[in-house]
Structure 1
Amino acid sequence: MVLDLMVIGTAITLGPLHNSAFILLLSSRGGVRQGLAFLLSWLANLVAVIALVVLLTGGQPPARHSAPSTAAIAVKLAIGLALVVFGAYRHRRPPRPHGPPRWAARIDNASPVAAAGLAWLLQPWGLVGAGAATAIDADLSTLTDWLVLTGYCLLATLSLIVMEMYTVWVPAAAHARLNALRSWLERHQEQLVVTLSLLVGLWLTARSIYELVA
């Protein structure tokens, strides 16, 4: 569980789309406040999904090879295969120019509520679902698993936390460097999406098959 959550959390935090959107928010009027609303909404979504899993399991992992355990592994396998297919499709698709999304033009006037809603929309729900299917194995009678789940949520939010803190501490330097980072992310968005999809998809697929047959 620990290694799977680390892989999933890292893939979530490195996603180019939400990081580009977050940098745009930080560059807008009231950027620190808008960024904080986005960050807290993003983190709250992750925590809510994990909390729902804990409520369903009662904090106790299902027995190995039981119906709930097998169902969770099947969900991870399905998500892994979907990511592989999606990554292969995006890799084979002819390159397309990436213009700014429609909401980018209105981001300067976005309210904190809109920024929080944007975080919900941009959450990579496939990966979040894989994290939830993995968290079903958490045993909350142990402090270790509490720390693992907390670490997963923070890892999946890490890029946002770093950029928010950087903007608070050194706003002038952060503005220039984060906008340069956004330009780089936009130029390499397709490669990043393909790479993350294939790597995480293959990982989830291989791990799920192993867990089903072991």
Structure 2
Amino acid sequence: MVLDLVLIGLAIALNPLPVTGFVLVLSSRNGVWKGLAFLLTWLATFVGIIAVVLLMTGGEPPAANSSPSTAALAVKLAVGVGLLCYAERTRRRIGTPHRSSGFMSRVERISPWSAASLALLLQPWGMVAAGAATVVEADLAHLASYAALMGYCLLASSSLLTMELYATFAPRSAAVRLGRLRTWLEGHQEQALVSLVLFLGLWLVGKSIYELTA
């Protein structure tokens, strides 16, 4: 469980779509407060999903080869296949011109409430679903499971949390560096997304098939 949560958490943290959206939020007027609304909603989503999963399992992992265990693996397999399809679709779009300036200009003028809604919109829900299917394995009888779940939430939010703290305590320096990050993402977002999604998709498919057939 721990390795899966680490890989999924890293993939979420490095996903260029929410990172780009968060950079735009921070670049707006009073961006620190809007970024805080975005970040709190982002974290609350993870905590809420984990809480729902643990309520369903009672904090005990399902027995091996049981229906719940098989269903969780099937979900991870389906998510993995979906990520691979998404990676291929995105790869084919690389180099194709598309309009994003309108979206960017709207993000730069959003309110804190809209920033919170944007956090929900930009959640990589496929990866989040894979994380939820992994959380099914958590055993709350052991302290290590609490640490793993907390670490997963923090890891998945680490890139946003780092940018929020940077913008809060070093606003001038952050404005320059985040501007550079935004420029880089605008030129390399799709390539980075394909690599990230492809890696996680292959991992989920390979491991799920192995566990289903073992």
Structure 1 residue 106: deviation in Å?
2.3
**Any idea what the Cα deviations from partners look like across 1:163-205, whole Å, max 9, x if unmatched?**
0111111110100110100110111011011111110000000
The amino acid across from 1:141 in the alignment is A
Q: Residues 34-53 of structure 1: matches in 2 within 5 Å?
A: 34-53=34-53
Partners of 1:108 and 1:49 in 2: how far apart? 29
Aligned to 2:78: 78
- Segments of structure 2 that go 5 or more residues without pairing to the other structure are none
Identical aligned residues as a percent: 55
Partners of 2:165 and 2:92 in 1: how far apart? 38
TM-score calculated relative to the size of structure 1: 0.96
Aligned to 1:166: 166
Secondary structure of the equivalent of 2:12? helix
**Any idea what the Cα deviations from partners look like across 1:92-139, whole Å, max 9, x if unmatched?**
346212432533222343221110000000000000000000000000
Partners of 1:28 and 1:9 in 2: how far apart? 27
The amino acid across from 2:43 in the alignment is L
The amino acid across from 1:9 in the alignment is G
- CA 1:2–1:133 in 2, change beyond 3 Å: closer, same or farther? same
Secondary structure of the equivalent of 2:99? coil
- CA 1:3–1:9 in 2, change beyond 3 Å: closer, same or farther? same
Aligned to 2:91: 91
Partners of 1:175 and 1:76 in 2: how far apart? 38
Is contact 1:29-1:109 (8 Å) kept? yes
Partners of 1:110 and 1:188 in 2: how far apart? 25
Deviates more, 1:123-132 or 1:19-28: 19-28
Is contact 2:94-2:191 (8 Å) kept? no
Size of the aligned set, in residue pairs, is 214
Pairing 1:114–2:114 present: yes
- Segments of structure 1 that go 5 or more residues without pairing to the other structure are none
Partners of 2:186 and 2:103 in 1: how far apart? 15
Divergent runs of 4+, >4 A: none
- CA 1:76–1:95 in 2, change beyond 3 Å: closer, same or farther? same
Aligned to 2:2: 2
Aligned to 2:129: 129
The amino acid across from 1:207 in the alignment is K
- CA 1:206–1:34 in 2, change beyond 3 Å: closer, same or farther? same
Structure 1 residue 65: deviation in Å?
0.4
Partners of 1:43 and 1:212 in 2: how far apart? 31
- CA 1:132–1:177 in 2, change beyond 3 Å: closer, same or farther? same
Partners of 1:170 and 1:98 in 2: how far apart? 34
RMSD across aligned C-alpha pairs, in angstroms? 1.2
Secondary structure of the equivalent of 1:137? coil
Is contact 2:42-2:119 (8 Å) kept? yes
Is contact 1:98-1:186 (8 Å) kept? no
